Chain A
């Protein structure tokens, strides 16, 4: 049925989008150059519009659209080939590469599952505390590794618990709350550091290429942390008050978790080694990140892990999605081209500039736009599309570009409403426990609260840690 629908949909949708992309490119490439825009800027804008169409409609995998951008930039003479391809060498990309390789080892060794099981058993005092565990634990794990990988790892554990408690799909309110807690925990935790969503390092890469400024590991985490904590509290209240989960005798669930933990046997040297290496790496990122560079520390840790045989290249090859590097390379190239050619400033003046004339208006609008756009498209694409424009406009209003970067990137990770919004919600929905209205009702409340809490945090808290609105 789905394949039938998709087949019919794609039969006319894909060719239409491709034709539209070509038409948009040709038209914008050839119209007389508007006042205030350079010829390079006009060409960069044509490529930007094609990227928007393809990233939003998803008719091509994201990384292939990125490759198209990298090809079109030198062919249109916006950048030279050397410049365009050199942007793949951005340290943001190599930082993510190192973080993903380390995460592969942590997952493969069983360390992440072991930690999850130990923590969950300690949360198991009542059905509501177990629910809180399924919310807070994925959030905590998503501070240190990709939120998507955490969701994929936690999903079988949630299913074991729902099976042990004999929760009936669609009917059990506790079942709904458990799978949503897992998804929301991953989403909320994913905004906390550079490691959870990976989009943060993409944003810092774009920021650095555009302005020469950067944001360190610790300042980012400090900026995001209050929103994370407050959102976890709100999410728990929504789960308990809106879904009203029925009280459960959770002994069966705790037994299932204990059995799963026993199957892991004793902790191995590999787990201990990787745990220690990760702690040292995070320490270095926090305290020496600016001095040594985040990417250098990440790749250094990877090299150490291979020296001590804590990682296996075959496993890494299977676990890491290499497409992310193509996507990020293209996004950084596009951001640089937009900024370098003046297209970002020109477009921002004629879009955001017509609507907003105050710094607070800009921050409120871009964070809200980012929050809701991420329901429709990938969060990395949201950053790649909105950040260059926002940075262009920030300059005019005298805003600190670092604040703008945070205001676009943090909300771009908070898609709670639609099952298609984020992979974690899609995984939760696929369990069969939820109806779309479950994610929509809870998600709407969380989306609105996210924005309100985020704005409060920017206003009252960020100036205390050095992120003031104006330079």
Chain B
């Protein structure tokens, strides 16, 4: 195993997943690629809500959207720095990528470019009914990825 792709986002950054990915990379002497996806959908929802209900005009809405993305970027950078520090302590070679967009689409895009041997991702706590009705991103990733996908349930 040469490359492990660890998928992170605001809703998927469980410490258990991070530790497992680091341990796997160390045991297999593999490179760990931290891929943090800035899920822009929430920011989009807020801005849409404000436009329709909060009565904000176009420019203030855009300024708010930019502030949100800037905050998400800075939170992602500090999370990545924290994991990078841990990887250095464990002597695991590490690389980080931060991108905004949909978690599934961006993960598939980066996976096709990086060609990892393993993708590690957190599965969020949700009811079986919710998964049945709304579907599961993790399941879709498992079906569409060209390598093994290891799913770690969030604590």
A residues near B42, Cβ cutoff 8 Å: 2, 430
- Given the contacts A1-B103, A3-B41, A169-B75, A423 and B137 also touching, CB distance less than 8 Å: no
A residues near B56, Cβ cutoff 8 Å: 146, 148-149, 152, 321, 423
Complex Cα spacing A204 to B11, Å:
44
Shortest beta-carbon distance, A16 to chain B, in Å? 15
Q: Does B104 contact A (CB under 8 A)?
A: yes
B residues near A315, Cβ cutoff 8 Å: 59
**Considering residues B46, B57, B71, B78, which has the most beta carbons from chain A within 10 angstroms of its beta carbon?**
B57
State which residues 116-153 of B face A: CB under 8 Å.
133-135, 137
Determine, out of B19-27, B62-70, B89-97, the stretch whose residues face the partner at the interface.
B62-70
Q: Please state if B135 and A320 are interface contacts (CB–CB under 8 Å).
A: no
Q: Please state if B46 and A427 are interface contacts (CB–CB under 8 Å).
A: yes
Q: Please state if A148 and B54 are interface contacts (CB–CB under 8 Å).
A: yes
Q: Does A163 contact B (CB under 8 A)?
A: yes
Q: Does A323 contact B (CB under 8 A)?
A: yes
**Interface size bucket, A side?**
35 or more
- For B71, give the chain A residue with the smallest CB separation: A159
A residues near B133, Cβ cutoff 8 Å: 8
- Across the interface, B59 reaches (CB within 8 A) one of A5, A163, A318, namely A318
A residues near B43, Cβ cutoff 8 Å: 430
- Given the contacts A5-B134, A163-B74, A104 and B46 also touching, CB distance less than 8 Å: no
**Considering residues A58, A107, A159, A426, which has the most beta carbons from chain B within 10 angstroms of its beta carbon?**
A426
Q: Please state if B134 and A9 are interface contacts (CB–CB under 8 Å).
A: yes
B residues near A398, Cβ cutoff 8 Å: none
Shortest beta-carbon distance, A467 to chain B, in Å? 28
State which residues 259-280 of A face B: CB under 8 Å.
none
Complex Cα spacing A363 to B102, Å:
47
Complex Cα spacing A58 to B48, Å:
12
State which residues 1-51 of A face B: CB under 8 Å.
1-5, 8-9
Q: Does A52 contact B (CB under 8 A)?
A: no
Complex Cα spacing A394 to B49, Å:
33
Complex Cα spacing A198 to B49, Å:
17
A residues near B41, Cβ cutoff 8 Å: 1-3
Shortest beta-carbon distance, A306 to chain B, in Å? 18
Shortest beta-carbon distance, A468 to chain B, in Å? 33
Shortest beta-carbon distance, B43 to chain A, in Å? 6
Q: Please state if B57 and A321 are interface contacts (CB–CB under 8 Å).
A: yes
- Given the contacts A104-B57, A318-B57, A152 and B71 also touching, CB distance less than 8 Å: no
Give residues in A with beta carbon < 8 Å to B. Answer: 1-5, 8-9, 58, 61-63, 100, 104, 107, 146, 148-149, 151-153, 155-156, 159, 163, 168-169, 198, 315, 318-321, 323-324, 378, 380, 420, 423, 426-427, 430-432
Given contacts A104-B57, A156-B67, A318-B59, 7 further A-B contacts (CB under 8 A): A2-B41, A9-B134, A146-B56, A159-B71, A321-B58, A423-B54, A431-B71
Give residues in B with beta carbon < 8 Å to A. Answer: 10-11, 39, 41-43, 45-46, 49-61, 63-64, 67-68, 70-72, 74-75, 78, 102-104, 133-135, 137
What are 26 A-to-B residue pairs whose CB atoms are below 8 Å?
A: A1-B11, A1-B39, A1-B41, A1-B103, A1-B104, A3-B41, A4-B102, A9-B134, A62-B52, A62-B53, A100-B55, A146-B56, A148-B54, A152-B56, A152-B63, A156-B63, A318-B57, A321-B51, A321-B58, A323-B51, A324-B55, A378-B53, A420-B49, A423-B46, A427-B46, A430-B43
Shortest 10 CB-CB contacts between residues of A and residues of B: A423-B54, A148-B54, A2-B41, A318-B59, A319-B57, A378-B53, A321-B55, A156-B67, A152-B64, A5-B134
